[in-house]
């Protein structure tokens, strides 16, 4: 693990989100909203493809921070705003940068991160921004 | 006509609480991690989780925020949705998610029987830069275990955007 200080970029997390992944996520969260898989429902609303559950993108931000800051890190806060929908088959990329690393009296540290999620490829756009994370690194 | 009616305004402060029918379970934790594609052993290997001070495997932090397991899935609306809803549906609007603020106090364990208490924290009205009327609904969900220990608080913003042309 590289030194954590203000300005450190975490390794980016990039993932293709297939319809199969979305069906798995819908099952794992007991969320059977038709927006995530039903072509008839989508067509009635002028949407060309199933919509990725936005909170799945938050899961990726949490994964990126946990992987970068190690198994003993504890995510204390994750705050984010949605900007654009993501559709089945698109690839997203999470980027995160350390904005502060505050040493605590017990030798642990509180790391804050500024992050975002973007869609990469032909129709590149912002999906989630800004995102703010606070991680207790023990 | 304003989106924010007196009837809606009177609902701010409403509370609904739900308790899961069973413990969260190892299977739910493993299923969620697999669905996300997160191979972190903290979610599946008890020894690895214990090595960093947890009592058991832990759930990925966003699992509780997004799972409707605590509701049991027996009641679905016309959209197929089986989660908590206030039933706020202003006419001729489309709904979008604004964002969330998750504050985590302790990871969830497989043996946790979760109670979720939803509070209708605020309803406000705004006009977008493009001149669209919007109703902004803010809810706060507090998650506790069977001993009353606080696990997390999720503050969620849902936006209802009026469709069609805005009258001059």
Residue B165 has pLDDT above 80, yes or no: no
Tokens (6 digits) for B144 = 């506790």
Q: Which residues of A touch B (CB under 8 A)?
A: 15, 21, 24-25, 27-35, 38, 41, 53-56, 58-60, 62-63, 66-67, 71-72, 74-82, 138
Divide the 138 residues of chain A into consecutive groups of 10 and give the mean pLDDT of each group.
84 98 97 95 94 97 98 98 98 98 95 98 97 97
Asked whether residue B147 is domain-assigned, the answer is yes
Determine if the pTM surpasses 0.90.
Answer: yes
Strand duo B150-162 + B133-144: pairing: antiparallel
Using an 8 Å CB-CB cutoff, list residues of chain B that contact chain A. 28, 31-32, 34-38, 40-42, 48, 51-53, 60-63, 65-69, 71, 73, 76, 79-83, 96-104, 107
pLDDT above 70 coverage of chain B, percent: 97
For residue B59, is it within any domain? yes
Residues A82, A53, A31, CA angle at the centre, nearest 5°?
135
Q: Answer yes or no: is B167 within a domain.
A: no
Domain annotation covers residue B31: yes
Q: Does pLDDT of B119 surpass 80?
A: yes
List CB contacts (< 8 A) between B41 and chain A: 71
Give the mean pLDDT of chain B: 94
Count the Cβ atoms, other than its own, within 10 Å of residue B126: 12
ipTM of the modeled complex: 0.96
Is the separation of the CB atoms in A35 and A51 below 8 Å?
Answer: yes
Test mutation, B59, B64, B65, B80, chain A, max A CBs within 10 A? B80
Q: Quick check: is B168 in a domain?
A: no
Within-domain flag for B1? no
Give the pair of three-digit tokens for residue A122. Answer: 């032909």
- In 3D space, the residue among A52, A118, A138, A64 whose CA is nearest the CA of residue A96 turns out to be A64
Q: Is the pLDDT of residue B143 over 70?
A: yes
Structural domain boundaries enclosing B20: 6-162
Q: What pLDDT is recorded for position B130?
A: 87
As a whole number, mean pLDDT of residues B124-144 equals 95
A90 contacts A14 by C-beta, under 8 angstroms? no
Q: Give the residue among B66, B134, B128 at the shortest CA–CA distance from B95.
A: B134
Domain membership of residue B128 (yes or no) is yes
In total, how many domains does chain B have? 1
Helix (H) or strand (E) holding A66, with range, is helix A54-69
pLDDT at residue number B168: 42
Over residues B66-103, the pLDDT tens digits come to: 999 999 888 899 999 999 999 999 999 999 999 999 99
Within 8 A of B60 by CB-CB distance, chain A residues are 59, 62-63
Give the CATH number, domain containing residue B118: 3.10.129.10
Q: Look-up: residue for tokens 């809803």? A: B85
Q: What angle do CA B69, A55, B48 make, to 5 degrees?
A: 70
Whether residue B23 is contained in a domain is answered as yes
Q: How far apart are CA B153 and CA B23, in angstroms?
A: 19
Question: How far is Cα B168 from Cα B165, in angstroms, rounded to an integer?
Answer: 9
Write the DSSP symbol of residue B167. Answer: P
Would you call B36 and A33 a contact, using CB atoms and an 8 Å cutoff?
A: no
């Amino acid at each position: 693990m590289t030194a954590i200080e203000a300005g450190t970029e975490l390794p980016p997390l990039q993932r293709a989100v297939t319809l199969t992944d979305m069906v798995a996520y819908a099952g794992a969260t007991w969320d059977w909203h038709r927006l995530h898989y039903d072509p008839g429902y989508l067509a009635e609303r002028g949407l060309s493809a199933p919509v990725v559950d936005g909170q799945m993108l938050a899961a990726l931000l949490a994964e990126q921070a946990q992987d970068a800051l190690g198994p003993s890190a504890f995510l204390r806060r994750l705050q984010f705003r949605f900007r654009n929908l993501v559709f089945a088959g698109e690839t997203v990329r999470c980027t995160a940068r350390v904005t502060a690393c505050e040493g605590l009296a017990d030798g642990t540290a509180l790391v804050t991160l500024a992050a975002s999620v973007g869609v990469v490829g032909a129709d590149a756009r912002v999906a989630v921004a800004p995102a703010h994370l606070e991680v207790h690194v023990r | 006509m304003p989106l924010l009616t007196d009837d809606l305004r009177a609902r701010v402060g409403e509370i609904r609480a739900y308790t899961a029918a069973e413990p969260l379970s190892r299977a739910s934790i493993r299923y969620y991690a697999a669905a996300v594609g997160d191979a972190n052993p903290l979610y599946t290997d008890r020894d690895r989780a214990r090595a960093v001070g947890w009592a058991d495997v832990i759930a990925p932090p966003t699992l509780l925020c997004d799972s409707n397991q605590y509701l049991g899935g027996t009641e679905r609306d016309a959209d197929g949705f089986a989660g908590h809803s206030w039933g706020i549906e202003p006419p001729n609007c489309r709904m979008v998610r604004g964002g969330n603020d998750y504050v985590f106090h302790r990871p969830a364990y497989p043996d946790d029987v979760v109670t979720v208490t939803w509070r209708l924290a605020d309803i406000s009205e705004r006009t977008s830069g493009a001149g669209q009327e919007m109703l902004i609904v803010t809810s706060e969900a507090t998650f506790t275990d069977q001993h009353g220990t606080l696990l997390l608080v999720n503050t969620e913003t849902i936006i209802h955007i009026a469709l069609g042309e805005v009258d001059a």
